[in-house]
Amino acid sequence: MSNLSEAELIHKFKGISFTTRSSPELLNSLDTFDAREDDVLLVSYPKSGTHWLAGVITKLYNTPVTLTTPIELGDMSKLEELNQLSSKRIIPTHLDYNMLPQHFKNKKCKMIYISRNPKDTAVSMYHYYRENPNLPTVDTWTAFLDLFLEGDVVCGSWFDHFLSWEEHKNDKNILFLFYEDMKKKYKNFILPVSQNLSKIVKEISIFLGISISDEDIQDICKKSSFSEMKKDTEKENSDPSHTVCALTSNRNLIFRKGTVGDWKNHFTPKQNLRFDEVFSEKMKLSKMAKYLTYEF
């Protein structure tokens, strides 16, 4: 819970809310960032599994890689810091596609977009808001759900974020991952993470052009369960240089439950109906949404 006012914690950039840990000057200068062709971007809306994905991907490489903090996190010194890092850089971001630095697009860097059920995302963000001193205080789940559905939360609307990336679903340099089941496999989407981990790891390695044995894949899977990663995080000190989340430097806040379907413990039937109505309206032109299954 924070003692600071909302104005001290949040600012708007291009109509989207960011924490003050992402400076307006940095956000305004992102297009000057010089991406490298071998950069790998890990993309997600907050609370969608970026830490888990980062843990898997860094284990795939047998050569040195640098997992950075999110590109939008920091002040103007951030771009120079990233510039001085040796390749290969694994760079997380919560930016929507339209705000992504242009050089990543021009150089067709590999990007992995990970998503989860937005109802679970909303619940995770609610708890995150309540526990994170870098975010405004929210009193009730009901109040937070209103903010989430209106897109008046950090990183903006889940729906807009998802749709901005979906527009590029056929780009060969972008891979989409989902935690939940889909009714069918849809082009370069891999799923479900929660049930098919070895297949996921294999296909991520193919996408990234990494040769890896089945034995190594099994080893990575064992080390990549939610509980194992949570344990690893709890052993380490809170260190801003380790987080891949743009909202906190406290790694102990990153992992909560990691379960699929926790939304059922929070949504009333009326809230669920309202969410479904908003989802149907916002996602009516979405091709991917037609294949998503949000009942478990």
From the list 97, 87, 131, the residue with the least C-alpha distance to 252 is: 131
Separation of alpha carbons 114 and 162, rounded Å? 10
Beta-bridged to residue 292, according to DSSP, are 182
State the catalytic residue, choosing from 94, 127, 161, 266.
94
Distances (CA, A) of 169 to 76, 186, 252, 288: 31, 10, 33, 9
Catalytic residue at 94? Answer: yes
Check if the beta carbon of residue 17 is closer than 8 Å to that of residue 129: no
Sign, Cα dihedral of 39, 100, 294, 128 = positive
Pairing assessment for the beta strands 10-13 and 16-19 based on DSSP bridges: antiparallel
Query: How many helices and strands (H and E) does the chain possess?
Result: 12, 8
CA 102 to chain centre: 19
Q: What does the DSSP 8-state code read for residue 31? A: G
Separation of alpha carbons 119 and 105, rounded Å? 30
The secondary structure element, H or E, covering residue 115 is strand 110-115
Check if the beta carbon of residue 113 is closer than 8 Å to that of residue 165: yes
Q: What does the DSSP 8-state code read for residue 74? A: B
Kindly state the greatest CA–CA separation across the chain. 52
Using DSSP's 3-state secondary structure scheme, residue 18 falls into strand
Q: Which residues are catalytic?
A: 94
